[in-house]
Structure 1
Amino acid sequence: MDIIKCEAALAAAEQGSLTAAAELLGYTQSGITRMISALESEIGFPLFIRSKKGVRLTENGKIMLPLFREIVRSRQNAEQVSAEICGMIRGTLTIGCYYSISALRLPAILKEFRSRYPGVTVRMQEGGNREMSRWLNERSVDCCFCAYPEAADFDWIPVFEDELVAWLPKDHPLAHADAFPIENLEKEPFIHTSPNHDTDQDRLLAAFHLHPQTCFSTRDAFTTYNMVEAGLGISFNQRLISQKWNGEVALVPFSPPQFIPLGIAVPSLKDASPSARRFIDCAAPGCRPSSPA
């Protein structure tokens, strides 16, 4: 099975468009179309449903996609290992990452990584806990820099902990308090960021069996932060997220204190590519890997 055709099918599935897949891989649309048609002829059934809006996988295509991904990944690993033997590190590294980590912590890590391994192209995929778990299970990323993924099969390298803090308007009675009682989340208007998406908010509320008075829901933490600043309610999130935001929002630790373990999840350390292993060494020097509980 031709690897280039597998790459074309993967790109079309990820982009949802033959035109976008062609642009991503540097081919013409007709070239991508021919490669995918040839692959479908080879395996004996259609991979995609075509429409004016783009393409989407057939049920058989969904079954084949992980196999195509494994073929491409094996080729990439072989290329990286052979380059390593020759004293070079080359290849592509795909990192899944929290929005907050990619904006606030990852740039310095990538700067160091780039200085050591300029031949490695880094591709970022940003998302939340649900996306991280899916990407790890699909093996569509080399690693994820995120909170502990609860619904995935992976190896885990803990790096640091971030504190969950209450976000309160500046004139809130507890804005200058030493702690915010966690049960108070049920007693005031609450602004929920991405509800029902296995976020850190969802996990904490479920752990304490809390049912806040949700008055607004948002898709973006920065929107939530600004709504809190406007006095529309209270919320909470990782302290790291608002590190460089300058709004007048009080960040108050919870009572009892709450911390989120952040680290690097890898589909398999044993099978990790040379680029992924070197990224881990760069991002988490001295940190010891552990297996999921």
Structure 2
Amino acid sequence: MELRHLQHFVAVAEERHFTRAAERLMVSQSGLSASIRSLERELRTPLFVRTTRRVTLTEAGRALLGEAERILAHVRAAHEAVAAVQGVLRGTLSLGTEQCIAGVHVAGLLAAFRRRHPDVEIRLRQTGSGALAEEVAAGRLDLAFAYRTRADTDQLRSLSLASEPMTVLCHPGHRLAASGAALTPQDLDGEVFVDFHPDWGPRRTTDAVFAAAGVRRTVALEVNDVHSLLDLVDENLGVAVVPRHFRHKRSSLTALPLKEDTGAEYETVALLPPDQATSPAARALVALLESRRPAPGDVSRA
């Protein structure tokens, strides 16, 4: 099995199209098809279902994809490690993040990294924490800034960034605003909620807190960005349960804490592959992050 066969297989799997994959790899379509056939002969099973309109993975193809991505990630890390020993940090840094993550100012961190390592190409992807964890574990991302979604495994490790309580945001004219008191999930029973997609860290935290309390809630307004959430709450269309540092983003809203015994704690982490699979660029970014970390409990730069 040759590395180029795996590279060709991953490209077709991602593009779901032989012509687009050939263009991406800058090879002929006939050469790409021959490479895939060679891999299928070696593995003695079809990897794709080909029709006139699309290409889909077989069950064997899906099983191979994750392993192929990890192998290619290891090979890339090996090349970059050799370059780093020679005194040059180059290659690609593939980074993922949720929006407004606590404990790290992503734009400032990447700007500082680029100044120090101009030969490294930076690629950034923004999505939910569950997807980010899967992509780091699969080798598609070098690291990610996310909500802690799982315990460390042999494919994924974490570096704690920040931990903070959750806060209820509501319109100042809302019935809860006048109390100024810490709230429980029971106090919010029957409210209409504004929240993020279920894969986002704040949504996962809130869902877990309400489920533990046995309180059912209705997320009527679901968004994928922080400012839309704040706009909807500002129009008194619902309330939101968010990490505490969000309260600084819209001073017109009333912020009420959740009671400490609710267990509403939001922890953010840097997600990394196993140490031996971590690329030199990712190591350099983590080192820079550590040198710029705010004091414990300070999430104002998030």
Into which bin does the TM-score normalised by the smaller protein fall?
Answer: 0.7 to 0.9
Contact 1:134 1:152 (8 Å CA) reproduced: no
Aligned to 1:156: 158
Deviates more, 1:84-93 or 1:247-256: 247-256
Distance 1:191 1:274, change over 3 A: same
Q: Which runs of 5+ in 1 are unaligned?
A: 288-293
Aligned to 2:275: 269
Contact 1:159 1:284 (8 Å CA) reproduced: no
Distance 1:176 1:113 in 2: 46
Distance 1:177 1:281 in 2: 45
Q: Output the amino acid matched with 1:185.
A: L
Aligned to 1:169: 171
Distance 1:217 1:92 in 2: 37
Contact 2:96 2:125 (8 Å CA) reproduced: yes
Q: Output the amino acid matched with 2:236.
A: G
Distance 1:266 1:7 in 2: 23
Deviation at 1:111, TM superposition (A): 0.7
Aligned to 1:84: 84
Deviation at 1:163, TM superposition (A): 4.0
Q: Output the amino acid matched with 2:285.
A: F
Deviation at 1:9, TM superposition (A): 2.0
Matched, 1:66 2:70: no
Deviation at 1:264, TM superposition (A): 0.8
225, 236, 240: which one aligns with 1:231: 236
Distance 1:228 1:52 in 2: 48
Distance 1:106 1:84 in 2: 24
Contact 1:174 1:180 (8 Å CA) reproduced: no
Distance 1:25 1:252 in 2: 53
Distance 1:90 1:211, change over 3 A: same
Deviates more, 1:79-88 or 1:259-268: 259-268
Contact 1:133 1:152 (8 Å CA) reproduced: no
Deviation at 1:106, TM superposition (A): 0.9
Q: Output the amino acid matched with 1:202.
A: D
SS at match of 2:124: strand
TM-score by length of 1: 0.81
Contact 2:128 2:199 (8 Å CA) reproduced: no
Distance 1:81 1:130 in 2: 28
Query: Whose strand proportion is higher, 1 or 2?
Result: 1
Identity %: 25
Aligned length: 284
Q: Output the amino acid matched with 2:47.
A: L
Q: Output the amino acid matched with 2:177.
A: A
Matched, 1:260 2:266: yes
SS at match of 2:66: helix
SS at match of 1:101: coil
SS at match of 1:233: coil
SS at match of 1:200: helix
Distance 1:170 1:227 in 2: 13
- CA-based RMSD: 3.1
TM-score by length of 2: 0.79
Deviation at 1:127, TM superposition (A): 2.0
Distance 1:31 1:159 in 2: 47
Contact 2:101 2:268 (8 Å CA) reproduced: no
Q: Output the amino acid matched with 1:233.
A: G
Matched, 1:211 2:216: yes
Q: Output the amino acid matched with 1:274.
A: P
Q: Output the amino acid matched with 2:229.
A: T
Distance 1:114 1:95 in 2: 13
Deviation at 1:181, TM superposition (A): 0.3
Counterparts in 2 of 1:197-208, with a 5 A limit?
A: 199-208=204-213
Deviation at 1:3, TM superposition (A): 2.0
Distance 1:77 1:215, change over 3 A: closer
Contact 2:70 2:138 (8 Å CA) reproduced: no
Aligned to 1:290: none
Deviation at 1:46, TM superposition (A): 2.0
Distance 2:31 2:209 in 1: 49
Q: Output the amino acid matched with 1:133.
A: A
Contact 1:191 1:224 (8 Å CA) reproduced: yes
Aligned to 1:124: 124
Distance 2:114 2:82 in 1: 20
Contact 2:181 2:256 (8 Å CA) reproduced: yes
Q: Which runs of 5+ in 2 are unaligned?
A: 294-302
Deviates more, 1:194-203 or 1:84-93: 194-203
Q: Output the amino acid matched with 1:155.
A: R
Distance 1:20 1:176, change over 3 A: farther
Q: Output the amino acid matched with 1:95.
A: L
Aligned to 2:96: 96
